[in-house]
Amino acid sequence: MKPTDYFSIKYVPKDSFEVNENLIFLDQTKLPLEENYVSTDNYERIAEAIERLEIRGAPLIGIAAAYALALSLKNIQADSEKVFNLAYERLARTRPTAVNLFQALDELKNEFENLPDKKKAFEILLSKAKEIHKKDEEYCLKIGRNGLSLFRQKSNVLTHCNTGKLATGGIGTAFGIIKTAYENGLVNHVYADETRPLLQGLRLTAFELEKNNIPFTLQADSSAAELMKQGKVDLVVTGADRIALNGDSANKIGTYNLAILSNYHNIPFYIAAPSTTIDKKIATGEEIVIEYRNSKEIFHIGETLISPENYNAFTPAFDVTPAHLISGIITEEGLFTFPYNFIR
């Protein structure tokens, strides 16, 4: 029987039965048909999980990478600097777009470099990783509460990709807003884009909506314009993987389409993300590195090959929505509107 609750990631300390301390994560590539948890203390296994999207979603990637970098030093006494640098470089190569990954890795790097005695590095970095995890959980709750101001009446909400517990350390970002608003009687119905090609909407958001008993309808990504034309969408809310200082926001491929469609139909279009998704080093979205995925992902649905594999394919995993198309960005600090100035 399937457990009624689920988690994306959990750090399990050594218990009285001498069970090794491990990171346990839910393999998201198998959802929703299989709820398979993987237990590991191997940073390379966690790096692979991030690459393969067993672990995914901007905040969760950062949290997992932090645990992985700490774990690289478990049982290491000599040469810890060499091991740390190798693990840092490996984890930084996993996925390029979500800035949370680099922010988390750099937080640990800063901590490590300032340690006078590297013998305690594992414990100290582990507590830093736990702190990053806990902070994201708190940010999600605040984003959920801040998002209530977007609802003027009981609304129909459209969302894209997956932004819930499976993508973060807490209740989620855009999903956290939907969940909090639903619990406050402000959500009538959720429309979830399937999110081609890896189907995070169909497989993961639907899984989370069902677990939370929130009424929903799935649709092919290409149905959004028709849904809006029929007057079935009151607002759109999605997450983000990296936000530039001017508010340009990278998110799952297809988000930019939704922003254009929302503006055309006069429907508010919001982005929800923790402040750790804001890249304070870049002025505009032009500087965001967009990940291109293997074309295999276009030609397969799940494990099944559905077309010849030698066709050319255009495979960006993310697109950048220009700031002027975004009605507001909700972080744990509140609602920001165009022109964006994230310093309060």
Least distance (Å) between residue 297 CB and ligand MRU = 10
Cα–chain center distance at 213? 22
Q: Contact at 8 Å (CB) between 291 and 53?
A: no
Q: Which is nearer to ligand MRU, 53 or 124 (CB)?
A: 53
Q: Is 221 one of the annotated active-site residues of the chain?
A: no
Q: Contact at 8 Å (CB) between 168 and 266?
A: no
Least distance (Å) between residue 97 CB and ligand MRU = 8
- CA gap 309, 298 in Å, rounded: 9
Q: Which is nearer to ligand MRU, 40 or 200 (CB)?
A: 200
The catalytic position among 193, 241, 248, 279 is: 241
Least distance (Å) between residue 252 CB and ligand MRU = 3
Q: Which is nearer to ligand MRU, 129 or 140 (CB)?
A: 140
Q: Which residue of this chain has its Cβ atom nearest to ligand MRU in the complex?
A: 239
Least distance (Å) between residue 57 CB and ligand MRU = 4
Q: What does each C-alpha distance from 246 to 250, 263, 326 come to in angstroms?
A: 12, 19, 11
Q: Which is nearer to ligand MRU, 87 or 239 (CB)?
A: 239
Strand stretches in the chain, DSSP E: 9-12, 22-26, 37-40, 155-159, 187-193, 216-219, 235-238, 242-243, 249-252, 269-272, 300-301, 304-305, 318-321, 328-331, 334-336
The residues binding ligand MRU (CB under 6 A) are 53, 56-59, 98, 161, 163, 167-168, 173, 200, 238-241, 251-252, 317
- Crossing angle of helices 80-92 and 43-51, in 10° steps, is 10
Supply the Cα-derived Rg of the chain in whole angstroms: 20
Q: What are phi and psi of 335, to 5 degrees?
A: -100, 125
Residues with a known catalytic role: 241
